[in-house]
Amino acid sequence: MDMSTTMEELEHRRLLELGARGSRQGAGMAEDGAGTSAIAAAAAPATTGGGSSGGAVPHSSDPVESDGQDSATFLRDGARDGIDDDEDDGVEADLFVQVDSLLKPVSATMAMVVALVGVLNSSPVSAGAFSNMMVYEEHEDDSTGTKLAGSLENALIFIALIVGVTTLLFLLYKFRCTKLIYAWLITSVGMLLATFGGLVAYMVILRFDAPMDYGTSTFFLWNFAAVGMRVVFWPAPPIIRQVYLVIVSVLLAWSLTKLPEWTTWSILAAVSVWDLIAVLTPRGPLKGLVEESQRRNEPIPGLVYEADDVKLGLGDFVFYSVLIGRAVLHDVTTVVTCFIAILAGLGMTLLLLAIYQKALPALPISIALGMVFYFTTSALVTPMVELMNQQGAFI
């Protein structure tokens, strides 16, 4: 009897250890539930075996069989929980990869705009491509009310342009005018690379007094624009395509940094509101584009940065960088805080994307955080840093 009980107890302990090991490996150390179950199961055979006589062996074997089934069930539950936790870990890893795959190009775009604004801000050449579209020309001696009213008027014109272009794109896509859309986009990208790219190159040459003849510069500019159109709209190595998309974003953002300060803030706020309307409202044009694309199971023609199954429109790259470019014109501290705020907002947006699993506007959170940090830093942090520098205090 003692030998039988001992063997049964050893077998029972072995099953419990297997169950506990499966639970630890599969369920990721679910200590509360597994620990309580193991203690309760271990108490039953010891009590039964200690109080039994010779005829009690069958009774002691019944709990072992029952506990063996419980242990097997416990092991299966632990493995099932382990699979669920492995899936959760995989989702978290995928989310981290997706966030990382977008933070890098967004950071690179903003860093390049910071460099361009810092280097070319003192250039005698004025880039007024977008400034010429504005009806209100801001002056330093204008009153606050005049600046506010004029900047809002400029923002409305800018938003009207965006609404018109977006609506036209939606209608062309809805009526399957795909070739016309691509012709429009290819021409736009080629002109942007050639004009803005050439202007930036010309300003850099002037800034550093670099030797360059007209023939060589024309040759390089033509190939730069032609290759850009080729890799953005036709099959090409992903890294080259992504580099050109970042360059397009940098050129657009740098040009927009030439807008007056009040107009810049009004446009950023207005574009963020429009992003919410266009993506989330039932009849928003961007929402309509996404739904039509899903219904037809076709990609949306457009300038979209794609990495690890996450897509971000180049407009988001551009307006993030416009905010950073405006911060460069203030001071370094503001640049750092705005940089962090924009990336934090993008991370929050991607987290919401993983939760809701639907298209979301990428501008509102990042732009809102960036503007809050800009004005907070300008009003509170920068004066404190300047005072500490004057007093020779360091933290």
Active site residues per annotation: 275, 316
d(CA 155, CA 79): 58
106 within 8 A of 320, measured Cβ to Cβ: yes
d(CA 72, CA 74): 5
d(CA 98, CA 103): 9
261 within 8 A of 138, measured Cβ to Cβ: yes
287 within 8 A of 175, measured Cβ to Cβ: no
Residue 346 token pair: 């993008």
As a dihedral over the C-alpha atoms of residue 319, residue 360, residue 237, residue 243, rounded to 10 degrees, the angle is 10
Residue 250 token pair: 């940098």
377: DSSP letter: I
Dihedral (CA of 64, 66, 69, 74) sign: negative
